[in-house]
Structure 1
Amino acid sequence: DRKTHGVMLVPVVAGSDKTTVSIATCHQEYHPVYVSPGILSNTARRGHGNAVMPTAFLLIPKTSMKWPEFKKFCCQLYHKCLKVVFGPLKPYMEIPKVVKCPDGHFHCAIFSLGPYIADYPEQVWLVGVVQDWCPKCDALRTDLDGKGSHRRSHEKTDFLIKNFDPGILWDDFRIRHDIVPFTHGFPRADIHELISPDLLHQLIKGIFKDHLVNWVGQYLYQTHGETVALEIIEDIDHRISAVPLYPGLRRFPDGRNYNQWTGDDSKALMKVFLAAISGYLPSSMVQCISAFMNACYIACRNVINGLALEHFHQCIEEFHHLQNTFIQAGVRVSISLPRQHALFHYYNSIQLFGSPNGLCSSITESKHI
């Protein structure tokens, strides 16, 4: 289109995260929606207070009855509201608009829906798939990391809905036929592709804290029995609490005993965890955790070049290969988990959107009331 030659593309980075407001609202749930211009750098989006702005506050209807029809209505209402929120930008996604930029100059701009920041439960709502299935590909729930899966898309989903019975869609494809994602009708927008990586809930709090740290504890209990395992865990906590003062390291005077564990706590624990568990686990388990941490630290960089991306891919392959150690030890029967599987999509997402450090749900959560 000649009208768009030389025009500045402005992706609209969006995000939403269900939260509960308890004061004077009887624990009412909301979906705060945030937007940010995609032309900002990662450091600007994370560091500038106005880089991410609250745009909408979507109320989630409540009822004391758990009716399937009411749940469907809530999900449909959610997508309709998002469509209304981004509707004013739709005409300018094909026809340029003159805008004033922060440098004081005027430019012709074309808007486009960009990466969408959301944790896994929110992704399920956005995409319209069944819980515990991947929002980006059609991998089987029982073998998410198996080969032979294909990427989801609006075109493929529309074809399946037109040609298959709703029961088959639910049982075989785990697709909700009654949900139309809000990105339908917007140019260059496919929600399956726009879902961005989530460092906080997928890597830091998900794989590391909820999976690996817990699996280490389960291994100690199964291998040594409760009495000895408690002694080992106490010694691990002692090692963690004995970390000396050093710039960039956080001290845990009471070990890992927290009532409410935050993302910052998990990131701080990652820096000392390998040293704390040394000598108590098989070398393959330590190597597995080390490979994951290497991949995590690469993903957390503000800039990821081609060499770093290839190194990230190698670390992910090594991590998934060494995960079998937990299965062989009897800690896990299988490792088919949505958050772990999401790592397979990081490579393509980084190529599309750049470093996930600027698309983390911690940015939107910092705006919560």
Structure 2
Amino acid sequence: MAPFHKFHLQLFHVSLSRILSILKPYMTRPDHVCFGDHHYCWVVYRLGPYIANYEEQALLACIVRNWCARCLATRGNLDGDALNRSREHADTLIAEFDLLDLWDEYRIVGDIIPFTNNFPRADIYSLLSLDILHQIIKGAFKDHLVEWVEKYLILKHGKKQAEKILDDIDRRIAAVTPFPGLRRFPKGCHFKQWTGDNSKALMKVYLLAIEGHVPQAVVCTFHAFLEFCYLVCKSVITESDLDLINDTLDHFHHYREVFKTTSVVFTFSLPRQHSLKHYHDLIKLFGAPNGLCSSITESKHIKAVKKPYQYAYHQPAL
């Protein structure tokens, strides 16, 4: 890794540590705080869940990309059972191995110190939260399943015939009857720029649009995946819901094999596919994912950055 790149990464962690340093004294001794009801309480602070997409999670966990930031699953078998990462385990590896071995064997960037090391009871690996927007909506759905369907059609029918089928899929999407809660796509799903809202709206109609053009196993794959999405997006998730989430994920993993048997993909060891395995445990740890989604910060980014840019320069922000 280039020295400037290391400096850039460490600067990110040092900056976070500096920003949060005001809370550090009160992580070991109570702070007397006046609450909204005008009553005073003793408060001990600690770091909570960190909302980030995969690229930022890899940066925070100081690991090489395409590995899991939460568990020790290997790059070639992300779906295999593996123990969770921990600060103690990482510190032990860094103390015992040189930087090259850490990179080659464990895919850890050993000379970058996570910002959480400066705070008590803080473990960056356990603080990384779920992210419905980038893991499910933009990741597993848009970047994986939708693209895999297009690749399947090209492999099965050839490029020319596949384009005709994709045009028919677009026609079906455009023909969706107006209904509250459903968004219309007059030009189908070929957007100039995919947004989270586009993907969420398309998820509601895409299954019906591809039915008849793809094998039943592909339809079942989308059905299981969408069922998983609806379950994890609930505002209140019960123990029975968690069992359903596990069952639905098993069905999704079973049916998605059709993409491997048809040579559309050769591996499912992809970080955003793998992230679905952690939802059961992370929901128990942090609660319903609806409250921990990067769409919250994305919406603030639009209001705080993109809109002012558009008004100032009279050009649409990317």
- SS for the counterpart of 2:45 is strand
Aligned equivalents of 2:11, 2:40: Cα separation in 1: 37
Look up the match of 2:35.
101
Report deviation, 1:188: 2.0
Q: Letter of the aligned partner of 2:108 in structure 1?
A: I
Q: Structure 1 residue 101: deviation in Å?
A: 2.1
Correspondences of 1:1-369 after superposition (within 5 Å): 68-147=2-81, 149-368=82-301, 369=305
Q: Which has the higher strand share?
A: 1
Distance 1:85 1:264 in 2: 32
Q: Hey, what's the Cα distance between the residues in 2 that align with 1:104 and 1:312?
A: 42
Deviation of the 1:105 alpha carbon: 2.9
Deviations 1:96-123 (A, max 9, x none): 2122223333222221100000001111
Once the two structures are aligned, what percentage of the paired residues are identical?
A: 51
Q: Which amino acid aligns with 1:351?
A: K
Q: In structure 1, what is the Cα distance between the partners aligned to 2:34 and 2:184?
A: 47
2:32 aligned counterpart, secondary structure? strand
Give 3-state SS (helix, strand or coil) of 2:50's partner: strand
Q: How far apart in 2 are the matches of 1:288 and 1:157?
A: 37
Cα distance, 1:94 vs. partner? 2.3
Unpaired stretches in structure 2, ≥5 consecutive residues: 306-318
Q: CA RMSD in A?
A: 1.1
Aligned length: 302
The one-letter code sitting in structure 2 at the alignment partner of 1:236 is I
For 1:98 and 1:295, locate their aligned partners in 2 and report how far apart those are by CA, in whole Å: 43
Please report how far the alpha carbon of residue 217 of structure 1 lies from its aligned counterpart in structure 2 after TM superposition.
0.5
Distance 1:221 1:182 in 2: 46
Give how far 1:198 is off. 0.6
Q: Distance in 2 between matches of 1:104 and 1:246?
A: 47
For the Cα contact (< 8 Å) 2:17–2:118, is it kept in 1? Answer: no
TM-score (norm 1): 0.80
2:31–2:42 contact (8 Å) kept in structure 1: yes
Q: Which has the higher helix share?
A: 2
How far did 1:216 drift? 0.3
